[in-house]
């Protein structure tokens, strides 16, 4: 008799457990946001119109966060026409496929490289020329430019925003053809940020603060770089004069330790032209973030671009506190960058279908 009750009770418990789990997921706002509760076409059109037509300053902060939250409940569609138009503009002004990094091709012997932020020039000597890439490898192919031979169908541009915490975007990022990362980020939460890296920028200020300009022990720096696999390490060696020596030390360190990475230098002409383009198109800031610089390059070089980890506000779309970075809460230097204004441009490009802006959970 006792055994006769076991199976029905077991089945009842399983059914009850499934029901409770389903209720938890359905009432979870993030799960509900992704899987149900999509906004109507008219609601999506209204939000799109506001973001596309209004300036960031004219929208109250809580209202703006709600709009971005609601954008994730509107279907996103890639618009090849809009993307091609923007790609043409970026190609005309800046030409990332040829000028994103300094190569022996665009900086031959004797060439005068002008710094991005001042009139100082440096001549490409034999020593410097040998430091520049001649043949680069991407996906196993050899080419004189890293981006011209094989098309990049899908690219992830991964920011370092605290919004990445508990996003579960790692597996989605790792499936992309090419992954851009910024400022030597620690790859600490793989389920949220992924592990794949193809192009990692390195801000010299980080090399100064965290690695003592590589003038002392380089073990910590080398250990970090090893975590990026064979990714290119890109440095703005010719943005400011004081960046040059530390950028050169990165290149020599990578070579000295026989790492598979290639240290490359962002071309000052490309960075200067990108800055001019965005200022002429309404972005009035002292200096563009490295995020916007490489997003611009990615749009020109890739077919479909998805952004992760870009969120410049202290509260997330749900109104909860979020750290500035997924690994710390150190704020940027005031008045140097204007991340919210840059983010507003990302939202506009998302609405036009030129890039896909991911905010919140991926699963």
- Picking from 46, 150, 164, 140, the residue whose alpha carbon sits closest to that of residue 97 is 150
In a domain, 242, yes or no: yes
Per the structure, the count of domains in the chain is 2
In a domain, 363, yes or no: no
Rounded-to-integer distance, Cα 70 and Cα 43, Å: 9
322 by DSSP, 3-state: which? coil
- Picking from 101, 160, 162, 174, the residue whose alpha carbon sits closest to that of residue 132 is 101
The CATH number linked to 237 is: 3.90.1480.20
Q: Are 238 and 246 in contact (CB under 8 A)?
A: no
Does one domain contain both 26 and 155?
no
Rounded-to-integer distance, Cα 343 and Cα 241, Å: 29
Does one domain contain both 89 and 57?
no
Rounded-to-integer distance, Cα 95 and Cα 209, Å: 32
Strand partners, 179: 156
Output the DSSP codes for 94-159.
T-HHHHSB--TTTS-TT-EEEPSSSS-EEE--HHHHHHS-SSEEETTEEESSTTSSS-EEEEEEE-
In a domain, 362, yes or no: no
Take residue 39 and report the two structure tokens written for it: 């906004």
Q: Are 181 and 197 in contact (CB under 8 A)?
A: yes
Distance from the Cα of residue 85 to its chain's centroid: 21
Single residue among 12, 39, 71 that ends a domain in this structure: 71
Residue 277: per-residue pLDDT = 96
Rounded-to-integer distance, Cα 304 and Cα 295, Å: 11
Does one domain contain both 217 and 340?
yes
Distance from the Cα of residue 146 to its chain's centroid: 18
Does one domain contain both 34 and 120?
no
Does one domain contain both 187 and 282?
yes
Does one domain contain both 239 and 326?
yes
C-alpha angle with apex 251: 233 to 110, nearest 5 degrees? 105
Residue 332: per-residue pLDDT = 74
Rounded-to-integer distance, Cα 179 and Cα 197, Å: 5
Single residue among 14, 46, 71 that ends a domain in this structure: 71
Per-residue tens of pLDDT for the chain, all 363 residues: 444 554 444 444 433 443 344 343 334 444 344 444 889 999 999 999 999 999 999 999 999 999 999 999 999 999 999 999 999 999 999 999 899 999 999 999 999 999 999 999 999 999 999 999 984 444 334 444 455 445 689 999 999 999 999 999 999 999 999 999 999 999 999 999 999 999 999 999 899 999 999 998 999 999 999 999 999 999 999 999 999 999 999 999 999 999 999 999 999 999 999 999 999 999 988 888 999 999 999 999 999 999 999 999 999 998 999 999 999 988 777 655 689 999 999 999 999 999 999 998 997
Take residue 96 and report the two structure tokens written for it: 């990332």
Rounded-to-integer distance, Cα 291 and Cα 201, Å: 9
Alpha-carbon separation of residue 108 from 97, 112, 238 (angstroms): 17, 9, 16
Does one domain contain both 67 and 122?
no
Rounded-to-integer distance, Cα 246 and Cα 252, Å: 10
In a domain, 270, yes or no: yes
Q: Structural domain of residue 149, as residue ranges?
A: 80-357
In a domain, 299, yes or no: yes
Strand partners, 143: 136
Does one domain contain both 207 and 281?
yes
What radius of gyration, in Å, describes the C-alpha atoms of the chain?
A: 23
In a domain, 6, yes or no: yes
Q: Annotated catalytic residue: which of 337, 344, 356, 363? A: 337
> How close are the terminal C-alpha atoms of the chain, in Å?
45
Rounded-to-integer distance, Cα 241 and Cα 353, Å: 39
Does one domain contain both 348 and 253?
yes
36 is catalytic: no
Does one domain contain both 248 and 178?
yes
For residues 347, 158, 209 and 103, what is the CA-based torsion angle, rounded to 10 degrees?
-100
Does one domain contain both 223 and 138?
yes
Does one domain contain both 273 and 308?
yes
Residue 188: per-residue pLDDT = 92
Take residue 278 and report the two structure tokens written for it: 């965005």
Single residue among 30, 46, 71 that ends a domain in this structure: 71
In a domain, 196, yes or no: yes
Residue 229: per-residue pLDDT = 96
In a domain, 60, yes or no: yes
Strand partners, 90: none
């Amino acid at each position: 008799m006792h055994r006769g009750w076991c199976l029905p009770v077991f089945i009842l418990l399983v059914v009850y457990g499934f029901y409770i789990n389903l209720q938890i997921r359905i009432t979870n706002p993030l799960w509900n946001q992704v899987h149900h509760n999509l906004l109507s076409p008219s609601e999506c059109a209204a939000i799109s119109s506001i973001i596309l037509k209004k300036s960031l300053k004219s929208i109250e902060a809580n209202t703006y966060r709600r709009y971005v939250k609601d954008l994730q409940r509107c279907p996103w569609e890639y618009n090849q026409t809009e993307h091609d138009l923007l790609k043409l503009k970026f190609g005309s002004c800046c030409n990332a496929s040829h000028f994103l990094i300094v190569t022996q091709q665009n900086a031959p012997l004797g060439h005068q490289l002008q710094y991005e932020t001042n009139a100082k020039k440096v001549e490409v000597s034999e020593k410097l020329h040998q430091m520049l890439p001649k043949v680069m490898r991407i996906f196993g192919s050899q080419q004189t430019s890293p981006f011209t031979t094989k098309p990049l169908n899908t690219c992830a541009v991964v920011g370092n925003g605290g919004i990445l915490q508990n996003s579960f975007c790692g597996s989605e990022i790792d499936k992309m053809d090419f992954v851009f990362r910024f400022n030597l980020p620690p790859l600490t939460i793989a389920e949220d940020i992924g592990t794949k890296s193809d192009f990692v920028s390195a801000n010299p200020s980080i090399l100064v603060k965290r690695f003592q300009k590589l003038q002392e022990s380089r073990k910590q720096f080398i250990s970090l770089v090893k975590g990026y696999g064979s990714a290119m390490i890109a440095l703005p060696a010719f943005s400011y004069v004081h960046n040059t020596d530390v950028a050169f030390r990165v290149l020599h360190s990578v070579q000295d330790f026989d790492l598979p990475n290639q240290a490359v230098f962002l071309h000052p002409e490309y960075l200067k032209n990108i800055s001019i383009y965005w200022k002429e198109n309404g972005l009035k800031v002292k200096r563009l973030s490295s995020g916007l610089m490489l997003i611009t390059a990615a749009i020109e070089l890739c077919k479909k671009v998805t952004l992760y980890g870009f969120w410049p506000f202290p509260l997330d779309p749900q109104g909860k506190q979020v750290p500035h970075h997924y690994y710390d809460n150190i704020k940027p230097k005031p008045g140097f960058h204007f991340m919210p204004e840059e983010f507003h441009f990302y939202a506009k490009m998302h609405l036009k279908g030129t890039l896909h802006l991911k905010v919140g959970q991926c699963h």
